[in-house]
Structure 1
Amino acid sequence: MLREVSAGKRFMGRLPQGADLLEALTQACVAQGITAGEVRAIGALTKAVLGYYNQQNREYEYVTLGSHLEIVSLIGDVSLKDGRPFVHAHVSLGDERGQLWGGHLAPGSEIFACEVMIVQYQSAEPFERAFDEGTGLLLWPME
């Protein structure tokens, strides 16, 4: 079910070249005290690691792309996992031929340049991820 949230502060900035994209997004949220929110970004990567959740096997499979890639779109959310800010993001990447790659943003994606926008949300109850038996994923609980 849906829960009412209200938009709080908005943050914009650039992430450091050479940093791991997922880790840099998470550290930005930790530094600003963001425990619930929305993340968007554009830019470029020198390397990307994308995940695909195999629903039958209930585990992630990964592909590593080693060429230079444009971040066509990155969208994600911020919530709590084990009491700490956790960024869950999906990304669409374009290569030099205009071919599009996409999937779950995984550790190991290296930033060439990245501009990020984060909207912090306020909620009466925290959004804490919990194991969902039906999917095998850590998801927001249904209330």
Structure 2
Amino acid sequence: MAEFGVRRVLVGRLRRGDDILAALGGVAAQHAIAVGWVQLLGAVERARLAFYDQSERVYREFTLDEPAEILAGTGNISRTAGSESPFVHLHLTLGDRQGRAWGGHVLEGTRVFACEYTIWVLEGPSLVRHPDAETGLKLWQPG
């Protein structure tokens, strides 16, 4: 377990057509965010999401190729071992026009219609993602 304080809070809006991961990664790089927590809401024009198949240890991708509301968006910012660039790990729950919910791990190609975000920039130890043999995922290494 690690303990953090909040250094500052950034509140902003992404532009229509932005790739949500690339845009948030750009904000993180511009503001030199090493560790942060992300929350967002709004809508997407289309979404590329994935579900992690625990038995096969692979992401199963799917596309929601229609407009959807962002019912909840949450994630974090840290680093991946061997990289100095911020890594945005983001999950979305989306609602379609019939009120059904879709959700998963956000992939490149998720396009913004309108999106407001809040990033809590944290102060504390570095969090770096390393391959985890038990799960097959890149997870924060225990401190």
Normalising by structure 2, report the TM-score.
0.96
Please state how far the C-alpha of 1:97 moved relative to its aligned partner.
0.6
Structure 1 runs of 4+ with >3 Å offset:
none
CA distance in 2, matches of 1:56, 1:129: 21
The equivalent residue for 2:60 is 61
- For 1:114 and 1:70, locate their aligned partners in 2 and report how far apart those are by CA, in whole Å: 10
Deviation at 1:16, TM superposition (A): 1.1
Report the AA paired with residue 133 of structure 1.
Answer: A
Note if contact 1:17-1:112 (Cα within 8 Å) is conserved in structure 2.
yes
Aligned to 2:138: 138
1:121 aligns to what?
122
Residue 29 of structure 2 corresponds to 30
Aligned-residue RMSD, C-alpha:
0.7
How many Å separate the matches in 1 of 2:84 and 2:29? 11
Give the letter aligned to residue 33 of structure 1. A
**Separation in structure 1 between the aligned mates of residue 113 and residue 63 of structure 2, nearest angstrom:** 16
Secondary structure, counterpart of 1:30 in structure 2: helix
Structure 1's unaligned 5+ residue stretches are none
Given the alignment of the two structures, is residue 86 of structure 1 paired with residue 66 of structure 2, yes or no?
no
- Where does structure 2 lack aligned partners over 5 or more consecutive residues? none
Aligned residue number for residue 5 of structure 1: 4
Instruction: Output one character per residue of 1:107-133: Cα deviation in whole Å (capped at 9) or x when no partner.
Output: 11000000000000011x310110100
Amino acid at match of 1:137: L
- Contact 1:41–1:75 under 8 Å retained in 2: yes
Q: 1:142, CA displacement in angstroms?
A: 1.6
Give the aligned length: 141
SS at match of 2:127: coil
Identity in percent: 37
Give how far 1:83 is off: 2.2
